[in-house]
Structure 1
Amino acid sequence: MTKRINAKYKIDRRLGINLWGRAKSPVNNRSYGPGQHGQQRSKPSDYGLQLRAKQKLKGYYGNISERQFRRLYQEAIRRRGDTSENLIELLERRLDAVVYRMKFVATPFAARQLVNHGHVAVNGKRVNIPSFQLKDGDEISLIGKIKENANVMGATQSNERDVPEYMTVDHKKMEGKYIRGPKFTEVPYPVHMEPNLVIEFYSR
């Protein structure tokens, strides 16, 4: 169990938002930051707004490392088209993000753990790299006894989230297909994301 998994709700408290839209979030009871100064609010600078936008986006995808996030930003710049749209598509092509979107698990942290432990296959081949980039048409499936795991079964039956239209899933077979990369407006974020501010942060 990693520190990032243990600290997932600390991210909610620090940002003061229910980042994943979960009923268990502590922000549902206290919508301010931790500590004695948590309720003090000041008008953030442009840098502060950009930093917060980055923290929200990084945190949402399981608090991925700064090195990985910057690498995705650099790849988004390299590609043609809108850089912020490219960044979102790259994040949504991560294997752990897709496992989460397909509702095989309840959180992005659990999705990373599921992939790390070798319970996920892409096109029939086991993949244990959470940052693995999926291609259009790739098929994702769970392997072995994990299909009968109580946490997995509970996640597939949860009403907290819906599976987005850019992928399909069969929860009886525990398999799905990644149809295509989404546009930013298609991604079902439970909170307001500002990838344009993230791009501004890195391009300073």
Structure 2
Amino acid sequence: MTKRTTAKYKIDRRMGENIWGRAKSPVNRREYGPGQHGQRRKQKISDFGLQLRAKQKLKGYYGDLTEKQFRRIFGEAERVRGDTGENLIGLLERRLDALVYRAKFVPTIFAARQFVNHGHVTVNGQKVNIPSYRVKEGDVIEVREKSKQMGLVLEAVALAEREVPDYIEADHSKMKATFVRTPGFGDVPYPVQMEPNLVIEYYAQN
């Protein structure tokens, strides 16, 4: 498990928002940031600060991706025809760990990364242990037979705080999901406001 995984609650507090919509988020109790200076009065954020924050929030939401990973995905989004912001969200949602999380096979995006890494998932019947693997429309993702009764999986299926979006068809009786289509930004059920347009502005100036 990476250090980033163990610090997931710090991401919420640093952003000042419950970015995954979790009932246990510390932001639900304390809205100020982490550390001894977290309760200082908030200062007005510059345009650059808003852009940086938007990037950090989106990057953090998908498991606190490294800057190198996120910049590479953004570069691909720029090269594809169409709206860069829409392309960016579509590419992020096509990651295997994101799909495992969206299908409610695991309770958190961090658990999804570890779940895939440990070989608990197949894509079209073949074991895939790369969280960043890019799923294609029509691909079938399934929890391996020996992993279907794991406590982590049973806990996730029972979660009432989020639902499976309509671009994924999930059958929890078989622990199987089909990626129906690549979603647009408006299709993704983010618990908080994401601003891919500010991410574009950030990379345009840096």
Farther-moved stretch of structure 1 (18-27 vs 32-41): 32-41
**Using the alignment, how far apart are the partners of 1:118 and 1:203 within structure 2?**
38
Q: Which runs of 5+ in 1 are unaligned?
A: none
| Residue equivalent to 1:14 | 14
**Using the alignment, how far apart are the partners of 1:36 and 1:154 within structure 2?**
35
**Using the alignment, how far apart are the partners of 2:105 and 2:35 within structure 1?**
35
| Residue equivalent to 1:43 | 44
Matches within 5 A, 1:45-60: 45-60=46-61
Cα displacement string for residues 103-150 of structure 1 (whole angstroms, at most 9, x for unaligned residues): 000100000000000111100001111111111100000113210001
| Residue equivalent to 1:166 | 167
Length-normalised TM-score, structure 2: 0.97
**Using the alignment, how far apart are the partners of 1:174 and 1:144 within structure 2?**
9
Length-normalised TM-score, structure 1: 0.98
**Using the alignment, how far apart are the partners of 1:136 and 1:64 within structure 2?**
23
Corresponding position: 1:183 with 2:184:
yes
Cα displacement string for residues 68-112 of structure 1 (whole angstroms, at most 9, x for unaligned residues): 100100000000000000000000000000000000001000000
Q: Which runs of 5+ in 2 are unaligned?
A: none
Q: Could you tell me how far 1:51 is from its partner in structure 2?
A: 0.3
Corresponding position: 1:88 with 2:89:
yes
Q: Secondary structure at the match of 2:133?
A: coil
| Residue equivalent to 1:27 | 27
Number of residues of Structure 1 aligned to a counterpart in Structure 2: 204
Give the ranges of 4+ consecutive aligned residues of structure 1 lying more than 6 Å apart after TM superposition.
none
Matches within 5 A, 1:93-172: 93-172=94-173
Identity %: 66
Alignment RMSD: 0.8
Q: Secondary structure at the match of 2:17?
A: coil
Q: Could you tell me how far 1:37 is from its partner in structure 2?
A: 2.4
**Using the alignment, how far apart are the partners of 2:178 and 2:82 within structure 1?**
25
